[in-house]
Amino acid sequence: MAENKKRERYNIRISGLGGQGVVTTAHILGATMDNAGKYASLVPFFGSEKRMAPVEAYVRASSDPIYEVGEVVYPDIILIYHSQVVTHGKSYTMPFYTGLKPNSLIIINTDFDVLTEDDMKVLNDLNATVVQFDATKLAKKIAGTELATNMAMMGMLLGLTKLVTTAHIEAAVRERFLGNSFVASGGTASLDSAIEKKFKKKEQLLTANMDVINQTFEMANSVDISGSELIVRFDV
Amino acid sequence: MTKIVEVGPAGYMPTSAPAMGVELAPEGSALLYGNTVTPEEAMRDAAIALLTRKNPTIFPGPQVLWDWKEDVAEKSAAILELASEIPNCKIIPMPDYRPKYPKIDVKAEINPNHPNLTILDNRIEACIFVGVHCHYANLTLRMVRAGTNCYTVALCAYMGHEEAMASIRDLHASDIAKFKEIVIEERNKLGIKWETTLPPENPSLPKEDNSTLSPADYGEYRSLIMTKKGEHITDSE
Amino acid sequence: MSLAYITPSERFKKYLPKDYVELIDFGPFGKTQEEAGPGNMGQFKELMEEHPMCSGCWMAYYIRLIFASLPCPEETVTIGTAGCGRLAISQAAVPFIYGNYGDQNAMASGLTRAFRLRFPDKTKDVITIAGDGGTMDIGFSMTMHSWIRGERFTTIMLDNEVYGNTGGQSSGMSPKGAVLKMAPMGKDFEKMPATDLAKAAGCVYIVRMSPTNIKAAAKVIRRAIFVAREVGPTFIHAYTSCNIEYSIPTEDVFADAIELGKGRFKFDEYMTDEAKIVIERVEGEEKAARKARKAAKVAEAVN
Amino acid sequence: MSAVQRPVLNKKQVEMNYLLHEAPREKHFITGAQAMSEAVKRANVDMAIAYPITPQSEVMHLVGDVFAQGHIKEYYRAEEELGTMSAIAGASRAGVRLFTATSGPGLIRGLEAIASWPGHRVPAVLGILTRVINAPLSIQPDNLEMAYMLYSGAVMLHAENQQDTFDFTLAAFAIAEKVDVYIPVAVATEGFFVTHAKGYVDMMSEDLVYKEFDPVASPVPAMDNETPPARIQRDAPVQKSNFMSYLIHSVWQQEIWDSNSRAMKYIYEYLGGPVEVLNPGSDIMLLASGCAAAQAREAHRYAQEEGLSVGLVKVKAIRPFPRTEIREALAAAKTVIVPEHNIVGWLCTEVKAAIPNGGIVHEGPRVFGGMTLPVELIMFEIYEALGIEHTIKL
């Protein structure tokens, strides 16, 4: 495939653990692209989405229509929602960067350096950029719940790629929490009601989520990852 | 005209007409030997067959034999008018579709599961199927083409039948009347003299006479099977 | 009540075979039980016609009895499955659907519901008539679930305690110890408790019987159909011996049926309170109608 | 009887051609499961019956919601698939419009009944949301079960994406119910890849529905005691006797396959034909159905960007098999690549047999057991076939 075609399209793989909102992220990302008048296709991983079990979801985002379906086997972007994905191999794709294309982006939620020497050599050869920050801590700090971790990860992704504006995201998040067009497993729905109780009102939930996203957008704006070192770290 | 579908017998296991490439005629057209033609052309060929081949017979099916729908009266009248213009035409009905066990009365009826019994026994060489549900009509027409030398005409209220030598679709009573006129025209052309005459009644076998049977013929449980009117059955225990 | 579809069109009446014309004139359609019930079943060709079963077949007799007892044959559909029974069922003038192996109660579930949605103002009776194999072995889950769902149709099991049609293999309903094909050492487990299962699954009217008494058998068939119309699933477990596989001489078939009627097919009738209300009402109405007809007849005679 | 009253909806009944080709449409971003249930909503279905199995369950629970909203008249969860498919066959005799769906092992379990539907003239629509059928157990997409359907006699459509799923399902009802067809139509698409993934679907208003089912316009009488003949066993067991030969059964089978072939003209009418061809006459033709066609379409796009002589044949109708159309589309091809989501390559086999020069058909690439079919896999085959150097590492 021609190299110059790659950047018009992002093939994203999201790896995390059950309960972290991985599948939810995929759906919101899809809706966000839709709101922006662009295209997305997504494939949630289905099977045993139990708490703390590995979960993967895949999103393709593009300014052109997308035909392809199925898992993203050769991603341009990888989101890692939990350090254990890397350190414990809690992932369906091992090692976590399997299939990564050259000049790609990896965003990892962690409070310590997770990459081994060997990992770094492979990623350096691929000219990848690894963005590393404690999204869970950020979620707790701003939204008061670690359930907003996925918002932080998504915000960072969209902030760095500048695919959409925060208005597009807000509309998608609003649809996700207030609309009813979402299809997911029963477990996700009961999780929602748990969050709702905590926040009393859905609007509050929405605002808290958006605060997290806005914060990550700001963080993303503060750096230029092109030509950067292999690892870019943010303090939270 | 190349005759794709021809008068049989086509043999042991004939290729179906659709498999030979015959397609149902579009609205406003008819099929003749598997070719799309005008309804008049098909009717004219069919009329000549009915007038010149042996023992022409009309096989009316359930949709015109039973009084279940508004248009039955008009259609059945038109069919009988048509029959009465075909010299020595017979009417042998197909009143239902279940196989006849143990034996069909071939003079009295035809059945889609074994139509050739009726056609061969009566030496029918030209026939019309009308008012038969399309599925059963297709089965019948194919078996007739396989095993007999009968020229088949299908008068169909829907899309017609590839297997018939002549197939008229979207049939209304007025189409049957038109067919009748064509029959009269062709009959006159052929110089056949005929006075409008209704076909003979159904020659069903006389009803079995059960009165000669004695209860002894029915063994131990005779009273359960052969109760006669007025006979009182008491508890058999 | 619609008889239009069995009424010959006027112009074609004389072109129909006689027995078809007689369907309406002399057949059981649109008639009362006195006119067309089992007491008179000898006069209808539909029920008299040669059946394709073995000589002396008790099942063939019971199937005739079912058809003669139908409250409304012109609005009834029967469903059967592989087995001897369907050979005789298909001889009658009542529509018969022959499905796949043992699926009669699943078919009936779909059919009954579809009838109710298409004809909300009409009564259409659906009856499944299958053997012990079709009902309790291969069709077991479909039988049970149709009852558990409360599907409103009648299930009749023709229990000959063997697979007669395939040549005499042991079935779940064969009695323990019976030496049959596929049970060469004798069947080593009990006959399935069909009526208990029916009760547990929610049938609202259940009868086990050996149909030797024609009136009693007819009454049960009608009760089962009336209750199914209004209340829920009904089940008749009837003994219909296989004289071939159990080597019962033809002249002893009736005696065997009476014998089993005293034993494992001892008459047992169960009904829920709701079913009872329906039975009492319908039978009361029938009785009143009979009386009225009788009175009218007397009045006519007097005049 | 349910205590909850379902709303009575007033909808405008229209012809299928209006519905598919003329009615204004709006874009929605929905899953394949939603697309199928939205089609059912507009198809004026009388009755839906199903047994849950992943990934079909998503579709049939949505159809249950559609029932609760008053769009269809009757719905229940059956005991298992054989019970489901038999109940569909039973309900069909009463003359109503029917829908069900299943997946992988469920299809195989129901296959005894499904294989009898065409001969029973059951014009129901069957959704097949593909799933692995062989051991060990898996819920993942793999369309091997479609191979078991190929000889059932049913019309089979294979949807590439959510839009196809919507359009094919809707059109399926009209095709199935034509008097000269009147056999079931199966609409297959890949589980998860389509059912659980969102895509863009242009849909007409849900206030429009396909005109009501007419049980009288049928090649067989409905067994409702309203239609003659009275003495009807619609599907008489055939037994040879002095008076009857097996010919009835053989012409009956012919009739089913003839009915299947008669569906082709309606596939043209409603779906624009059984195949879609891009860049006919190219040296390399990609030929695929279902999701594999989506992957092939992507590969085709990349190939165009790189100026390669690559065309695409998407096969929409698996039955009737578009033999003539495929022959035509592949007439000038030097190599045919057939990507598939199953190990046996049933489409590849059919294509090889359909063209005079079957040797040009390349086996695969195939993935199975739920594996994704990456576009890179197809590009690899294209580069190899054209002898172009490339950097794809698989």
Instruction: Say how far apart CA A26 and CA A12 lie, in whole Å.
Output: 9
Q: Which residues of C touch B105 (CB under 8 A)?
A: 17
**D234, part of any domain:** no
Q: If you write DSSP's letter for every residue of chain A in order, what string do you get?
A: --GGGGGGEEEEEEEEETTS-HHHHHHHHHHHHHHTT-EEEEEE--S---TTSEEEEEEEEESS-----S--SS-SEEEE--HHHHHS--SSSSSTTTTPPSS-EEEEE-SS----HHHHHHHHHTT-EEEEE-HHHHHHHHHSSGGGHHHHHHHHHHHHH--S-HHHHHHHHHHHHH-S-----HHHHHHHHHHHHHHSSHHHHHHHHHHHHHHHHHHHHT---TT--SEEE---
Residue partners of C145: CB distance under 8 A and separation at least 6 = C105, C106, D78, D79, D83
Torsion (CA) D82, D86, D91, D92 in degrees, nearest 10:
120
Alpha carbon of B123: minimum distance to chain C alpha carbons (Å): 19
Q: Which residues of C touch D226 (CB under 8 A)?
A: 2, 4-5
- Say whether residue B198 is in contact with chain C using an 8 A CB cutoff: no
Q: Is residue A5 pLDDT above 80, yes or no?
A: no
- Which phi and psi angles does A79 have, rounded to 5°? -110, 130
Inspect the interface and report whether the beta carbons of A46 and D306 lie closer than 8 Å.
Answer: no
At D268-326, the pLDDT tens digits run 999 999 999 999 999 999 999 999 999 999 999 999 999 999 999 999 999 999 999 99
Residue-range definition of the domain harbouring residue D150: 12-210
At A8-53, the pLDDT tens digits run 689 999 999 888 888 888 888 988 998 888 888 877 665 555 677 7
- Mean pLDDT for the stretch of residues D12-36: 96
Inspect the interface and report whether the beta carbons of B143 and D230 lie closer than 8 Å.
Answer: no
By CB neighbour count within 10 A (0-12 exposed, 13-18 middle, 19+ buried), where does D285 fall?
Answer: buried
Residues in chain C: 303
Instruction: Say how far apart CA D183 and CA D181 lie, in whole Å.
Output: 6
Better-predicted residue by pLDDT, A187 or D371: D371
Q: How many CA atoms are closer than 13 Å to the CA of B147, on its beta-carbon side?
A: 19
- Among residues D157, D161, D191, the alpha carbon closest in space to that of D320 is found at D157
pLDDT (0 to 100) of residue A194: 65
Inspect the interface and report whether the beta carbons of D302 and A2 lie closer than 8 Å.
Answer: yes
Residue B67 is nearest to which of C8, C64, C250, comparing CB atoms? Answer: C8
- Say whether residue A122 is in contact with chain D using an 8 A CB cutoff: no
Alpha carbon of C151: minimum distance to chain D alpha carbons (Å): 11
**Contact yes or no, A with C (3+ CB pairs under 8 Å):** no
Q: Which residues of C touch B76 (CB under 8 A)?
A: 9-12
Alpha carbon of A160: minimum distance to chain D alpha carbons (Å): 24
Inspect the interface and report whether the beta carbons of B134 and D180 lie closer than 8 Å.
Answer: yes
- Say whether residue C5 is in contact with chain D using an 8 A CB cutoff: yes
Alpha carbon of B161: minimum distance to chain D alpha carbons (Å): 9
Over its length of 303 residues, how does chain C's per-residue pLDDT go in tens digits? 468 888 899 999 999 998 788 777 777 788 888 888 887 776 666 655 666 677 778 998 899 899 989 999 999 999 999 888 877 777 788 888 988 899 999 999 999 999 999 999 999 999 999 999 999 999 999 999 999 999 999 999 999 999 988 889 999 999 999 999 999 999 999 999 999 999 999 999 999 999 999 999 999 999 999 999 999 999 999 999 998 889 898 889 999 999 999 999 999 999 999 999 999 999 999 999 999 999 998 888 887
Q: Is residue A197 pLDDT above 80, yes or no?
A: no
- Among residues B121, B143, D222, B35, the alpha carbon closest in space to that of B129 is found at B143
The domain total for chain B is 1
Q: C124 near D84, Cβ under 8 Å? A: no
Cβ-based neighbour number of residue D373 at 10 Å: 30
- In the 8-state DSSP scheme, what is residue C73? G
Domain-terminating residue out of D210, D231, D255:
D210
- Which phi and psi angles does D107 have, rounded to 5°? -65, -45
Cβ-based neighbour number of residue D313 at 10 Å: 27
Alpha carbon of C18: minimum distance to chain B alpha carbons (Å): 6
- Mean pLDDT for the stretch of residues D183-197: 94
Residue D243 is nearest to which of B66, B114, B143, comparing CB atoms? Answer: B114
Alpha carbon of C66: minimum distance to chain B alpha carbons (Å): 13
At D343-373, the pLDDT tens digits run 999 999 999 999 999 999 999 899 999 889 9
Biggest CA pair distance of chain B: 75
Q: D83 near C106, Cβ under 8 Å? A: yes
**B203, part of any domain:** no
- Say whether residue C186 is in contact with chain B using an 8 A CB cutoff: no
At D125-168, the pLDDT tens digits run 999 999 999 989 888 899 999 999 999 999 999 999 999 999 99
- Say whether residue B218 is in contact with chain D using an 8 A CB cutoff: no
Q: Which chains touch B (3 or more CB pairs under 8 A)?
A: C, D
Q: Which chains touch C (3 or more CB pairs under 8 A)?
A: B, D
Identify the CATH number of the domain in which residue B103 sits: 3.40.50
pLDDT band at A6 (very low <50, low <70, confident <90, very high): very low
- Say whether residue C100 is in contact with chain D using an 8 A CB cutoff: yes
**B143, part of any domain:** yes
Question: D210 forms bridges with which residues in the sheet?
Answer: D14
Q: Which chains touch D (3 or more CB pairs under 8 A)?
A: A, B, C
Alpha carbon of C65: minimum distance to chain D alpha carbons (Å): 18
Q: Which residues of D touch B158 (CB under 8 A)?
A: 179-180, 217, 219
Q: Is residue D387 pLDDT above 60, yes or no?
A: yes
- Mean pLDDT for the stretch of residues D98-108: 97
Within D116-190, strands assigned E span 125-130, 155-158, 185-190
Alpha carbon of B34: minimum distance to chain D alpha carbons (Å): 14
Biggest CA pair distance of chain A: 51
pLDDT (0 to 100) of residue C128: 97
Residue-range definition of the domain harbouring residue B106: 18-190
Q: C56 near C253, Cβ under 8 Å? A: yes
- Say whether residue A46 is in contact with chain D using an 8 A CB cutoff: yes
Quote the tokens at residue A142. 């701003």
Torsion (CA) A67, A73, A76, A81 in degrees, nearest 10:
120
pLDDT band at D1 (very low <50, low <70, confident <90, very high): very low
pLDDT (0 to 100) of residue A185: 45
Residue C214 is nearest to which of B60, B80, B224, comparing CB atoms? Answer: B224
Q: Which residues of C touch B91 (CB under 8 A)?
A: 12, 15
What is the separation, in whole angstroms, between the first and last Cα of chain C? 32
- Say whether residue C149 is in contact with chain D using an 8 A CB cutoff: yes
Instruction: Say how far apart CA A78 and CA A106 lie, in whole Å.
Output: 5
Inspect the interface and report whether the beta carbons of A67 and D190 lie closer than 8 Å.
Answer: no
Between residues 66 and 85 of chain B, which touch chain D (CB distance below 8 Å)?
A: 66, 68-69
Q: Catalogue all structural domains in chain C, each as residue range(s) with its CATH number.
A: 4-271 (3.40.50.970)
Instruction: Say how far apart CA D198 and CA D215 lie, in whole Å.
Output: 36
pLDDT (0 to 100) of residue D245: 72
pLDDT (0 to 100) of residue A1: 36
* Residues of chain A above pLDDT 70, percent: 83
- Say whether residue A2 is in contact with chain D using an 8 A CB cutoff: yes
User: String of b and e for B138-173 (b: at least 16 CB within 10 Å)?
Assistant: bbbbbbbbbbbbbbbbbbbbbbbbbbbbbbbbbbeb
Strands across the sheet with C234-239, in order? C96-98, C76-80, C125-131, C154-159, C234-239, C205-209, C268-271
Q: Is residue A186 pLDDT above 60, yes or no?
A: no
Q: Is residue A181 pLDDT above 80, yes or no?
A: no
Tell me the H-state helices in B90-215.
Answer: 115-121, 134-147, 173-190
Q: Coil, strand or helix: which one is D241?
A: strand
- Which of C12, C44, C86 has the most B C-beta neighbours within 10 Å, making it the best mutation to test the interface with B? C12
- Mean pLDDT for the stretch of residues D99-115: 97
pLDDT (0 to 100) of residue C213: 93
- Which of B218, B221, B236 has the most C C-beta neighbours within 10 Å, making it the best mutation to test the interface with C? B221
Quote the tokens at residue C60. 């063939």
- Which of D49, D231, D238 has the most C C-beta neighbours within 10 Å, making it the best mutation to test the interface with C? D231
Q: Which chains touch A (3 or more CB pairs under 8 A)?
A: D
Residue partners of D278: CB distance under 8 A and separation at least 6 = D297, D300, D311, D312, D314
Inspect the interface and report whether the beta carbons of D229 and B103 lie closer than 8 Å.
Answer: no
ipTM confidence score: 0.88
What is the separation, in whole angstroms, between the first and last Cα of chain D? 58
Rounded to 5°, the CA angle C225-C231-C233 comes to 60
Number of Cβ pairs closer than 8 Å across A and D?
78
Q: Strand A9-17 vs strand D198-204: parallel, antiparallel, or unpaired?
A: unpaired
- Say whether residue A74 is in contact with chain D using an 8 A CB cutoff: yes
Q: Is residue B33 pLDDT above 60, yes or no?
A: yes
Instruction: Say how far apart CA C75 and CA C95 lie, in whole Å.
Output: 9
Q: Is residue A108 pLDDT above 90, yes or no?
A: yes
**B3, part of any domain:** no
Nearest residue in A to D30, CA atom: A181
Identify the CATH number of the domain in which residue D91 sits: 3.40.50.970
Instruction: Say how far apart CA B78 and CA B80 lie, in whole Å.
Output: 5
- Among residues D187, D338, D178, the alpha carbon closest in space to that of D264 is found at D178
At A112-128, the pLDDT tens digits run 998 999 999 999 999 99
Domain boundaries, chain A: 9-221
Alpha carbon of D291: minimum distance to chain A alpha carbons (Å): 7
Q: How many CA atoms are closer than 13 Å to the CA of D113, on its beta-carbon side?
A: 30
The domain total for chain D is 2
Homologous superfamily of domain range A9-221: Pyruvate-ferredoxin oxidoreductase, PFOR, domain III (3.40.920.10)
